[in-house]
Each structure stands twice: as structure tokens, then as C-alpha cells.
Amino acid sequence: MNDIFLRACRGEKVEYTPVWLMRQAGRYLPQYQAVRANIDFLALCKTPELAAEVTIQPVDILGVDAAILFSDILIPVEAMGMQLVFSDKDGPVFSEPIRNKSAVDRLIIPDAEVDMPFILESIKILREKLKNKVPLIGFSGAPFTLATYMIEGGGSRHFLQTKKMMFQNKRLFDYLMEKLTATLILYLSAQVKAGAQALQIFDTWAGMLSPIDYKNFALPYVKKIIYELKREGLPIIYFVNNCAGILHEVKKSGADIVGIDWRIDIADAIKKLGKKVVVQGNLDPCALFLSEEDIEERVKDILWKGEVARGHVFNLGHGVLPETPVKNVIALVKAVHRLSHI
């Protein structure tokens, strides 16, 4: 098995910089579209054989150095008892958002083996199919990011309901976050037991918080998850979107690897994080619409600046966009491998 990703995550010297991409299994790939044409998104996540198939597609097509489980961050939220619907127009929708104590009371802390067995079965299938290829990354959303969907009822621009609860009823907000944290510890631990070889925690919306609010309302919970999972002994990646203003707090999370978005120069991020942290990132996903020559120049810049970190895993600053040309994604992966080769 190509284990260069795992070695880079541990800060070991590697022959080249490993690369994988957020949303590397997705709508930009015709092979994914062919599978997706016959099944809705949530059903795809819950069908282990098909979820495994689309997880492996980018490994074979792109030549990336790690696979990430095909699923969705909201799967454990649904298992907690919320009704989840994916709309082509509006994305994820919760028809009854969390707005009061009785709503939080009704949420359960699910048992992954009982309530989400399809996730664990997908991981087991993938470990068998990937054993001679690359490592498998398991994942979850971070408590704060999941809470925003639960409180808002879906996506949001301003997160008004979330911030109102934070500022007007902190006790209720903490109650929700505690349940989410307990759920995610069990969920991620079950993924490790099933065979995940690294974990990524996605905090997609943490960057909309001020530094003081991130410190008070989001960081304590993700720290607890990482602390509990450290005993599993595998790399833990914490990705925070729009992280530039809160990196001095993010570095306190305890994560082995910090994933950063493209809104901050990777050299500046490394200075703020310090040289004890492995970094992951951080090409703008829209840069994949550049010419292959220009993509290569962007790759060179990020690789050069990433050399001073304890370790570097190349990735985008967010997920691959559906309109992205596949040939450009393949060119990106080849450029990372070629230009970083010792």
C-alpha cells in the first residue's frame, strides 16, 4: 500500500508531497454521475457497495494518495433524530430546526453500529478494496458546523438563528453542542474500529465566528473530540474554512494536521501555526479553471512555501467544484507529484 500520506501526516520525511482533494468523489467525474443517475444522494451514502465504488473512483482516475469515505457530514445528525432532506435547489434541509430545549431533549446520542451500520460496512468494504492502493480517511463535521445546520434548518448566509442562540441562550447552545460532541466521539471511534486509517473533522462554518466567539463557542468541543480520539493513535486532520482570523486559536485544537483554505497564504498560515503542526492545503478550487501551465505555477508556489512546515499534505482550500474539468484535476495531481519529487 502507498502509505506516503500517513507518513506525511506524522511529519516524517517523504519522497514527494502527497495529495488528495476534498470532494474528490463528486459530480465533476462522469463515472460518479453514471452511478448517481440511478439513485438519490442520501440513498447513495447509505448503500455501502455504491458508496465504496464512488470513493475508489478518484483513486483510480486521479492517482491521489488517499481515499476519503463517500458520505455526508449530516448523516449522524439524521441519526440523532432529525428529518433530513436533500434538495437540488436548497441543499440539505431540516424541516424542524432546533430552537428550544425540548427539541434538544428529543435528540438521541446514536450508536453507530445500530443507527449507521451502512457507514461502517462501507469502511470495511473499502479497506479490503484499498489494501494494495492507498489509506482511507474517515470523517465527520465539527460540532459547531453541524449545529448551524440544525439551528438554521439548512444552509445560511448570516447564521442569525445560530448566533441568537449563542448570545441569548448559551445554556441551550451548550446543551446541543454537548450532545453533538458525544455523538461525534462515538461516531468517529466506530469509524476507526471499522478500519479508517486517518480522520478529518470539517469545520466548514467556524470561520464566520470572531476569534473570541470561536474560542468560546466552537473550540472547546472540537478539542474534546480530538483529545478523546488521540488514544486511537491515528492522524487527525482539522479543516477550518475561512480560518485566517482564528488560526491562533485553531492551533490549540490538538489536531495533528490543520487543513487551511485558500484565503490565507500558506506561508503565513505556517508562521501562525508553528513548525510542530503538519499543514494541509491550500489551492483555490477555482484555480483548477486555469490553464495547466498556470495550475503548475500555483502548485510550485504552494509546495515551495509548504516546505518549511513539519509536514505538508497538498489539497484544495475547499472541495472540487462540479464544473471542474477532469483533465485539470489530473494535471494538478501529476504536477504535485512531479514537482515535489526528491
Q: CA 178 to CA 181: how far, in whole Å?
A: 5
Q: CA 314 to CA 305: how far, in whole Å?
A: 12
CA 134 to chain centre: 18
Q: At residue 195, does pLDDT exceed 90?
A: yes
88 pLDDT band, cuts 50/70/90, is confident
List 7, 10, 27, 263, catalytic entry: 27
C-alpha to C-alpha distances, 232 to 4, 74, 208, nearest whole angstrom: 20, 23, 31
List 28, 149, 187, 214, catalytic entry: 149
C-alpha to C-alpha distances, 201 to 57, 106, 181, 236, nearest whole angstrom: 22, 25, 12, 8
Q: At residue 90, does pLDDT exceed 80?
A: no
List 7, 10, 36, 127, catalytic entry: 36
Q: CA 273 to CA 252: how far, in whole Å?
A: 9
Q: Cα–Cα–Cα angle for 131, 136, 138, nearest 5°?
A: 150
Q: What is the mean pLDDT of residues 169-196?
A: 98
Residues 6+ apart with CB under 8 A from 72: 41, 42, 45, 92
Length of the chain: 342
* Residue 115 annotated to the active site: no
Count of domains forming the chain: 1
List 28, 32, 65, 72, catalytic entry: 72
Helices (H), 142-199: 143-152, 160-168, 170-194
Residue 38's φ and ψ, nearest 5 degrees, are: -110, 10
Q: What is the mean pLDDT of residues 147-165?
A: 96
Strands 198-203 and 84-87: unpaired
Q: Which amino acid appears at position 208 of this protein?
A: M
* Residue 23 annotated to the active site: yes
* Residue 157 annotated to the active site: no
CATH of the domain at 246: 3.20.20.210
* Residue 284 annotated to the active site: no
Q: What is the mean pLDDT of residues 54-73?
A: 98
Look at residue 43 in the predicted model and tell me its pLDDT.
97
87 pLDDT band, cuts 50/70/90, is confident
DSSP, collapsed to helix, strand or coil, labels residue 137 as strand
Q: What is the mean pLDDT of residues 19-32?
A: 97
Q: At residue 342, does pLDDT exceed 70?
A: no
C-alpha to C-alpha distances, 311 to 36, 126, 146, 282, nearest whole angstrom: 36, 26, 29, 14
Q: Which domain holds residue 24?
A: 4-340
Place of cell 425540548: 102
Q: What is the mean pLDDT of residues 292-310?
A: 97
111-150 confidence digits (pLDDT tens)? 999 999 999 999 999 999 999 999 999 999 999 999 999 9
Q: Is the pTM of this model over 0.75?
A: yes
C-alpha to C-alpha distances, 42 to 74, 92, 171, 290, 305, nearest whole angstrom: 10, 10, 32, 32, 39
Look at residue 275 in the predicted model and tell me its pLDDT.
83
166 pLDDT band, cuts 50/70/90, is very high
* Residue 99 annotated to the active site: no
250-285 confidence digits (pLDDT tens)? 999 999 999 999 999 999 999 999 988 999 999 999
197-248 confidence digits (pLDDT tens)? 999 999 999 999 999 999 999 999 999 999 999 999 999 999 999 999 999 9
**Mean pLDDT for the chain overall:** 97
Residues 6+ apart with CB under 8 A from 54: 25, 31, 32, 35, 36, 44, 70
